[in-house]
Every structure is written in C-alpha cells, then in structure tokens.
C-alpha cells in the first residue's frame, strides 16, 4: 500500500467505521423492534404457543428441520407445515404421534418423542402461530 496512506489513517477508518455502523445497526434494531408487533402478531402468543416453543426446543427439532429457513436441512421446512397439512392441527399431532420407534428401514424417519397430549397440542399451536408471521411471502411455495 502506498505511503501516503498511513497506518493512522487505516486505524481511524477501522475505529470510525466500526463505531458508525454499530450505531446505525442499533438504530435499525430499535426501528425493527417497533415494527415487529404487527408482523409477528405477538398478541396471539398464548401460554400454549409459549409451551409449544419450549417443546420445540427441548426436543431439538431444529437439529433436522428448518423453521423459517433456519436450522438443519435433513427434514422439511416447518414454517408453513400448518398450511401444508391442510390447516389442521390434528394432522400435525397425528404425524408426530405415529412415528415408528425403530424408524423405517433404509429411510429417514422422525424419532418417536412420546409427547403428551398437552405437548402435542402446544407444538401444533406454536407451528400454527409461526405460520401466520409476515415473512415476506417466504417460503416460495407450499413444499417449503
């Protein structure tokens, strides 16, 4: 690098640039948190939805599935599974309940988690709530 560009100048760009963009990022984060309520419909987060998120986490569902595109890519996207299963919580619960303990020979299979009826209802409610978040029309189609 030419000598007219000094180390001090480089350092100032680093400090100045970093501090400036940290402040911009914080301001945008503030703005985002102001706008989120109308996009995530948090008024619909019932105790059941909250329990559903806990069940989702405690069984490490993200280790195979994506949820709004984030997670593992081994099993289907679940952000729109509520619609994919015909807007039916019963279909979601039935699927989770019916997983064979020893899997399916040669195929990928979801483990049998032995969830209680309350937990099944909660996870279905959680996935229904998630499917109603404004995600700018993602995923592109019903297959996720």
Judged by CB, which is closer to other proteins: 89, or 110? 110
Interface with other proteins, residue 76, by CB under 8 A:
yes
Interface with other proteins, residue 27, by CB under 8 A:
no
Interface with other proteins, residue 36, by CB under 8 A:
yes
The span from the CA of 76 to the CA of 104, in Å, is 17
Interface with other proteins, residue 43, by CB under 8 A:
no
Total number of residues that touch other proteins (CB under 8 A): 75
Measured CA to CA in angstroms, residue 33 lies from 26, 29, 59 at distances of 11, 6, 28
Interface with other proteins, residue 77, by CB under 8 A:
yes
Among 47, 53, 126, 137, residue whose Cα is nearest residue 92: 126
Judged by CB, which is closer to other proteins: 66, or 93? 66
Neighbouring residues of 47: CB distance < 8 A, sequence distance ≥ 6:
none
Q: Which residues pair with 67 in a beta bridge?
A: 70
Min dist. Cβ of residue 3 to other proteins (A):
10
Interface with other proteins, residue 135, by CB under 8 A:
yes
Q: What are phi and psi of 117, to 5 degrees?
A: -60, -40
Min dist. Cβ of residue 95 to other proteins (A):
13
Neighbouring residues of 107: CB distance < 8 A, sequence distance ≥ 6:
none
Site for other proteins in 98-127 (CB under 8 A): 101-109, 111-113, 126
């Amino acid at each position: 690098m030419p000598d007219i560009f000094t180390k001090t100048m480089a350092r100032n760009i680093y400090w100045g640039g970093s501090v400036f963009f940290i402040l911009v990022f914080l301001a945008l984060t503030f703005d985002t948190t102001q706008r989120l309520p109308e996009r995530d419909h948090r008024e619909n987060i019932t105790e059941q939805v909250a329990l559903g998120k806990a069940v989702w986490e405690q069984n490490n569902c993200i280790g195979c599935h994506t949820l709004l595109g984030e997670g593992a890519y081994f099993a289907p996207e679940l952000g729109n599974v509520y619609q994919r299963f015909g807007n039916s919580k019963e279909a979601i619960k039935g699927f989770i309940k019916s997983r064979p303990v020893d899997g399916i020979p040669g195929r990928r299979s979801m483990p049998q988690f032995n969830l209680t009826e309350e937990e099944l209802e909660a996870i279905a409610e959680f996935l229904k709530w998630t499917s109603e978040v404004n995600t700018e029309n993602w995923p592109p189609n019903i297959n996720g």
